[in-house]
Amino acid sequence: MTISVGDKMPDGVFKIMKSDGPGAVSTGEIFSGKKVVLFSVPGAFTPTCSKEHLPGFIEKAGDIKSKGVDTIACMSVNDVFVMGAWGEQAGAGDDVQLLADGNGEYAKALGLELDASGFGMGTRGQRFALVIDDGVVSQLHVEEAGEFKVSSADYILENL
């Protein structure tokens, strides 16, 4: 079942790249007591994700956070090393936290997994954005296949 507005975010753990190497962060640490924008991309270093999606959130991070958002996080079904390298290459810094959902378990828990095996990518996460208030979904924006509109930084900023 797909997550809906008003639902509590499922429990889980993401891998993150820290200054001293791979680490982990729980969903409780990310979402509890905070307003979070979580967006998902089908894959790090893929065209739309690297040219528009992540850069848009990096560019608009200050504006988004000025609307009361504590954390902007990008989730992808990639390993922690790929997500770390992608964040570094993109200049995410402290503006956008990169979350590795290496086995796609969290995408599946949200009901937002994507079968990208036709592209040789296996199971991934759909392109979407959520606004989460203290662990509860207040906005859910899932893209139609091949689209990039409702999960963009500009769209989220307009709707905060």
Instruction: Provide the annotated active-site residues.
Output: 49
Domain range summary for the chain, segments of one domain joined by +: 13-159
Q: Specify whether the backbone of 99 is left (phi greater than 0), alpha (psi in -120 to 50) or beta.
A: beta
Apex 49 CA angle, 61 and 112, nearest 5: 95
Burial track 72-104 (b if 16+ CB lie within 10 A, e otherwise):
bbbbbbbbbebbbbbbeebebeebbbbbbbbeb
Q: Supply the pLDDT for residue 15.
A: 97
Tens digits of residue pLDDT in 9-37: 999 999 999 999 999 999 999 999 999 99
Q: Using one digit for the tens of pLDDT, what is the confidence trace for 104-153?
A: 999 999 999 876 677 767 677 899 999 999 999 999 999 998 899 999 99
Inter-residue contact 78 to 89 (CB < 8 Å): no
Model confidence pLDDT, tens digit, residues 26-79: 999 999 999 999 999 988 887 787 788 999 999 999 999 999 999 999 999 999
Q: What is the pTM of this model?
A: 0.93
* Residues linked to residue 10 through DSSP beta bridges, in sequence order: none
- Domain 13-159 fold is Glutaredoxin (3.40.30)
At residue 71's C-alpha, the angle toward residues 43 and 82, to 5°, is 25
Q: What kind and span of H or E run contains 69?
A: none
